[in-house]
Structure 1
Amino acid sequence: MSGTMKAIVKHQRGVGAELQEVPIPDVKENEVLIKVKATSICGTDVHIYNWDEWSASRVHPPYVFGHEFSGEVVEVGDKVNTIVPGDYVSAETHLVCGHCPQCLTGKFHICENTKIIGVDTQGCFAEYVALPAQNIWKNPENMPSDIASVQEPMGNAVHTVLNGEVAGKSVAIIGCGPIGLMAVGVAKAAGASQVLAFDLNNYRLGLAEQMGATTLVNSGEEDPVKTAKSLTSGHGVDVVCEMSGHPAAIDQGFKMITNGGRMSILSLPTKPVKVDITNDIVFKGIEVQGITGRKMYETWQQVSRLLNSNQVDLTPMITHHLPLEDFEKGFQLMNEGKCGKVVLKP
């Protein structure tokens, strides 16, 4: 397909982005071209928009960013035979090599040569996006486009929460950004006996309650460790899912976890974190997990089934729908913490 399209371009090394008219991407023999129906703003996109230390060291403007979306296939490459025009799809955003030791043992989500769509390659904040066919996930026809666009980040939440036993256990979700909110819903659906939501933002704590949290804790107004222990007969919580990335919150997570508990960390701290390894890890005998991306494609199957069975309802955490042209308002809402998930419509 020839012609041009609207796209949000990270146009320079610095704060901000621009709406530009750029060429519609060409489709390689193993790729498909997708007309984007909905694309949602991720915390990673905010890092890139704000141009922090991480993004300055990772991305190379100018390029189209964004990586969460849903859309319709409009063109396929010559060697693509599993996808046809008209398919309603989303995509796994990790581009993996297929030949490193991790890939060869089925651990594609930790491929040592991973590239990320919209970070290392052209992204989906646009009217069209071209991607490898092997990364495409077919959506149910009746799934709303905004819900379909947030399956990728929901996969992060599912991977974090379900990377160990949850049923009948107390679960703490630290950080109620969009993925934390989804983690609340996943933990509740998985049979957690308690779901404790921690944040400094009362607006997002309200969303956590709608997603199924049994206890809301503003960590700036009460001691989160004391509260967690008081709700667990003094023992501490069984599972901590760390989504905030704040050094103090991470330390609190280690302090509130019970002996033999599980600490799953999805967040990306931008500063060094001090951890009392002796008392909070070794003597407690806890399991500490680093979580990256989604298990390919086990997690996508879990996400799809949780949504299709209505065990997790994401509508409370999708708080804003904006046209692509109003992207700056979306990033402002994300920076101010006055939203759940922001969905852009090209």
Structure 2
Amino acid sequence: MKALVKEKAEPGLWLMDVPEPAVGPGDVLIKVLRTGICGTDLHIRSWDGWAQQAIRTPLVIGHEFVGEVVDTGRDVADIKAGDLVSGEGHLVCGKCRNCLAGRRHLCRATVGLGVGRDGAFAEYVALPASNVWVHRVPVDLDVAAIFDPFGNAVHTALSFPLVNEDVLITGAGPIGLMAAAVAKHAGARHVVVTDVSEERLELARKIGAHLALDVSRTSIADGQRELGLREGFDVGLEMSGNPAALREMIANMTHGGKIAMLGLPAEEFPVDWSRIVTSMITLKGIYGREMYETWYAMTVLLEGGLDLAPVITGRYGYRDFEAAFADAASGTGGKVILDWTA
């Protein structure tokens, strides 16, 4: 089968013929239809410091996908050939304290699809049945392909109550954009998104943000004044991993404000801990999705009319992966999709 492979420990990706994955007793074999390009895939392609430590070559990359089940192992009961499925990309041990307590997203032995084991940028991928999400209601294939990052957005946005709250989102990348759509759909009073890319800020406006701020020109405090906010934001969703963004978020939160952090910084940096303490601000780190509460929430949000179409800005056949990755790396668009049927 064809697959995108990190064949060598150097920058680049290679479209190669590789064997189809084996299917164990509890596994599901899936014919991949669409995949989404993630920031993780960009790191692996560029072979940066994180990738050099995390990846062993050769490796089939990719973890955002939708596909059709073509085969199941003998112990799989509730999934059948022909089912349309997406996959939870975090494979957990099932034996640790958190797994046994039903908190699988907190497993310390998590292995990432397309990072710690061969992934989904291929014509076929195999996953344990427990990691397969069957789409029981109709869903657009492009949207189903990005259920993994959509889950990151939902997990982050719904960490705290949002009804009638004023929400600040720093970072208008694809996950920040989806979080903005979720926050508005969930009943936030104001949703403010910040970035320095005018193209992405325009996407934030299309997705329904009440205010999209270019923070290279306009401060968050100015945004507060424009909206008539007197005490700051109630909820912050930090999606950028940028030190200045988090510092500005902390400075503009109301007393008792709550911040969920998904953005992953490249290195350690200082923040105003005195402000956090005296303003009684809650900080919560987010990684991945709650298994599988977040997946239920995603499905229900889409059934309820949440529209993610504006977030998807690039579509390519898998043979045009170089152009697709260049598009995704430009930092000006939303999600980029690879079609594995083209």
> Which residue in 2 is equivalent to 1:325?
319
Residue identity matched to 1:118: G
Matched, 1:335 2:329: yes
Between the aligned partners of 1:55 and 1:248, the Cα distance in structure 2 is: 25
Question: Is 1:197 paired with 2:193?
Answer: yes
What secondary structure sits across from 1:155 in the alignment? helix
Q: Which residue of 2 aligns with 1:156?
A: 152
1:298-317 to structure 2, matched below 5 A, reads 298-310=293-305, 312-317=306-311
Contact map agreement 2:314 2:327 (CA 8 A) in 1:
no
Question: Which of these residues, 110, 120, 127, is aligned with residue 123 of structure 2?
Answer: 127
1:82-130 Cα distance to aligned partner (Å, 9 max, x none)? 1111111001111111111211222110111111111111100011001
Contact map agreement 2:92 2:110 (CA 8 A) in 1: yes
User: Aligned partners of 1:289 and 1:222: how far apart in 2?
Assistant: 27
Corresponding residue for residue 290 of structure 2: 295
Q: Map residues 181-220 of structure 1 onto 2, 5 A cutoff.
A: 181-220=177-216
TM-score, scaled relative to structure 2? 0.97
Count of residue pairs brought into register by the alignment: 340
Per-residue deviation at 1:230?
5.2
User: Distance in 2 between the 1:132 and 1:87 partners?
Assistant: 15
* Unmatched runs of 5 consecutive residues or more in structure 1: none
**CA–CA distance in structure 1, aligned partners of residues 57 and 254 of structure 2:** 45
Q: Distance in 2 between matches of 1:71 and 1:107?
A: 27
Alignment of 1:143-292 (within 5 A): 143-228=139-224, 231-279=227-275, 281-292=276-287
Superposition RMSD in Å: 1.2
Contact 2:27 2:126 in 1 (8 A): yes
Question: Which residue, out of 72, 84, 89, partners 2:85?
Answer: 89
Give the letter aligned to residue 78 of structure 1.
Answer: R
Displacement of 1:142 after TM fit?
A: 2.4
**Partner of residue 111, structure 1:** 107
* 1:169-224 Cα shifts (integer Å, max 9, x gaps): 00011101110010010000000000001000000001111111000100111122
Contact conserved, 2:9 with 2:52, CA < 8 A, in 1? Answer: yes
Q: Distance in 2 between matches of 1:233 and 1:338?
A: 29
Kindly state the Cα deviation for residue 340 of structure 1 after the two structures are TM-superposed. 0.6
Partners of 1:171 and 1:238 within 8 A in 2 = yes
Q: Judging changes above 3 Å, is the alpha-carbon distance between structure 1 residues 10 and 225 closer, same or farther for their aligned structure 2 residues?
A: farther
Alpha-carbon distance in structure 1 between the residues aligned to 2:17 and 2:280:
55
C-alpha distance in 2, partners of 1:29/1:79? Answer: 5
Question: Which shifted more, 75-84 or 180-189?
Answer: 75-84
Which ranges of structure 2 fall in alignment gaps of 5 or more residues? Answer: none
Aligned-partner SS, 1:23: coil
Q: CA deviation at 1:141?
A: 5.2
